[in-house]
Structure 1
Amino acid sequence: MSLLAQYQTQAWPSPAKLNMFLHISGRRADGYHELQSLFQMTDYGDTLRFAPNATGTVRLLTAFPDVEHDSNLIVKAAQLLQDYSHITSGVDITIDKVLPMGGGIGGGSTNAATVLVVLNQLWECGLSLDQLAQLGLELGADVPVFVQGKTTFADGVGEHFTPAPTQHNGSDAVFLVIHPGVHISTQQIFTHPKLCRNSPKIDFQDYTFAKTHNDCQELVVNLYPKVAYLLQHLLHYAPSRLTGTGACVFAVFDKEASAQQVLHALQDQQILDNTTHAFICKGVAESPLHTTIKSIFNVRE
């Protein structure tokens, strides 16, 4: 029995990330931005399952109403690995989708990374995480950080990683994350003339949440009143920030009970309406996907 058949009922995590800060220090001649960030892995996300099929093709069996099948990053990731590793086996993929798309939490990138990391094992491709991350870069700038699976500082255009030391890996933090139900185009924000692009670079060893910021936040709250509204209310209770280019905002707590209390307060005050999506998650040093892979396949770093 193939590994793909053997593990077809296994649920594989595809977790969200948060940008604890995002400093933009310049724009290169090729249009890409020089930036610094801390990518925080969380324990909350989608789950994917993989099963063999006899067609030799990649089939995503879960419907995505707004995305063409062949344009979906899940399909593109599987096809990319299939072509790169000369795999002739087909695969059927299903997903339990809970992460909102376009939220600044990596909703599409994390799925692509889970496909690459899991199928590398199930198809026995034998690629390293570095090789998979390089492949993932063809799918999106955030895919490599999910492939590597660690809470990590990033700089350059977001492709140079420095693993976060224990005191900064977020494993003692709890987050309340809220998606306001509006779509924000990353391209719109990064090409906007009013985006701040002159933040001085920081030494990652000196990082604290309080001493950092998100350079996209001021622009986004000016363009999207609902983001501003939610952030304003979160800031009453705890340190809060926009993640990535949005639309999600998050608040940081040291206890889950505190996060639950604030969530209930916002619901009671009707700050959250039926277009918002809120969840509570914990910070983790390592992606739950990689913890699962290690426990099943005895993979060592």
Structure 2
Amino acid sequence: MKRIIVDAYAKINLSLDVLRRREDGYHEVEMIMQQVDLKDIITIKEIEKGIIIESNKKEVPTDSSNLVYKAWDIICKKFNIDRGVYININKNIPIAAGLAGGSSDAAALLKGLNKLWNLGLTKNELMELGVNIGADVPFCIMGGTALAQGIGEKLTRLNNFSNIYILLATPDIQVSTAYVYKNLNLKEISVRPDTHKLIEYMEDNDIDSVAKKMVNVLENVTIKKYPIIQEIKKDMINGGALGSLMSGSGPTVFGIYNNEKLLKETERKLKKRLSKVYSVKTI
């Protein structure tokens, strides 16, 4: 039986700005998205009918609420495929953590089915399918570093910003993205990221300036409800991070380091009170 294995990488937001609320209820955003080497591993095998989803983590849904189900369904309907698939998700990315774990799994499945069933889809065609699954899916297919606009689906590839030391820490709380956006008051945002200046710093590989100028406007809502996020940011800065930010709508916090020894020391300290702490690099 043919088996395809695909890596599904996490993402962080080096900046996140919300420009306006659209008439359809979605928010217009502008953000810099960056993949890191924390990954889920997706194993795909063809079966006769239907879909079976299994995972090493019991928190991972194995029904139609999982985005990989939606990815399989979209491919089958578009190409009139009457074949089933077995999917195993070896889950390492924290769930509902602002790291696009579910979106990355769905992106990996689209890429895997494209190969398994010899569909011949280009990366851009896969990205066009991905936007119907979730706003982060096209970026997870593209990978690397990108400017995301619109609802996150309009992507511009940026210069590679790889091999940067990153510390991730996810507190054991559940953050609802819908709650965060609903409670975001655009008129109250006093500090916004200078996205285009950040891109210039990245192009110059000026890591220090990138780290110090990162802004995520969603912190205004999430930190107010969950002060532990601010505490983790402070711990990272005190531990030698050049800068620290919440990723997405949270609750994951990341720090950028230029010294691996300081990163490892902060990682050791944070692990004393948090179970999900990861030393990673940008890719």
Provide Cα deviations, 1:264-301, integer angstroms capped at 9, x if missing partner. 1334xx4x24xx411111101xxxxxxxxxxxxxxxxx
Q: Equivalent residue of 1:210, what SS? A: helix
Q: How big is each residue's C-alpha offset from its partner over 1:73-101, in whole Å with a ceiling of 9 and x where there is no partner? A: 11221121122112222211111111111
Q: Is the 8 A contact 1:58 1:79 kept in 2?
A: no
Code of the aligned partner of 1:85: F
Compare 135-144 and 255-264 and name the one that shifted more: 255-264
For 1:266, the equivalent position in structure 2 comes to 270
1:78 corresponds in structure 2 to: 72
Match status 1:283 vs 2:282: yes
Give the aligned partner of residue 59 of structure 1: 52
Aligned residues: 269
Contact 1:21 1:209 in 2 (8 A): no
One-letter amino acid of the structure 2 residue matched with residue 67 of structure 1: P
| 1:116-265 alignment runs, 5 A limit | 116-165=110-159, 169-194=160-185, 196=188, 199=192, 202-203=195-196, 205-207=199-201, 208-237=210-239, 238=241, 239-265=243-269
Q: Which structure 1 residue ranges, 5 or more long, are not aligned?
A: 285-301
Q: Does 1:39 align with 2:33?
A: yes
Alpha-carbon separation, structure 1, partners of 2:163 and 2:193 = 28
Kept in 2: contact 1:141–1:158 (CA 8 A): yes
How much has 1:227 moved relative to structure 2? 1.6
Change (3 A) 1:90 1:36: same
Change (3 A) 1:90 1:227: same
Per the alignment, do residues 99 and 87 of structure 1 end up closer, same or farther by CA in structure 2, a change over 3 Å counting? same
Structure 1 runs, 4 residues or longer, greater than 6 Å off: none
Structure 1 residues 145 and 197, CA gap change in structure 2 (3 angstroms)? farther
CA distance, structure 2, for counterparts of residue 132 and residue 123 of structure 1? 14
Partners of 1:246 and 1:176 in 2: CA distance: 15
Bigger shift: residues 209-218 or 94-103: 209-218
Provide the C-alpha distance between the structure 2 equivalents of 1:124 and 1:60, rounded to a whole number of angstroms.
22
Over 3 Å counting, the alpha-carbon distance change for 1:43 and 1:68 in structure 2 is closer
- Taking a change above 3 Å as real, the CA distance of residues 265 and 197 of structure 1, as seen in their structure-2 partners, is closer
- CA shift in 2, pair 1:211/1:193, >3 Å: closer
TM-score of the superposed pair, with normalisation by structure 1: 0.82
Which whole-Å CA distance do the structure 1 matches of 2:277 and 2:59 have between them? Answer: 22
- 1:25 and 1:197 in contact (8 A); partners too: no
CA RMSD of aligned residues (A): 2.1
Q: Rate the CA distance shift 1:108–1:127 in 2: closer, same or farther, 3 A.
A: same
Q: Post-superposition shift, 1:255?
A: 4.1
Structure 2 partner of 1:28: 22
User: Relative to 1, partners in 2 of residues 1:135 and 1:263: Cα closer, same or farther, differing over 3 Å?
Assistant: same
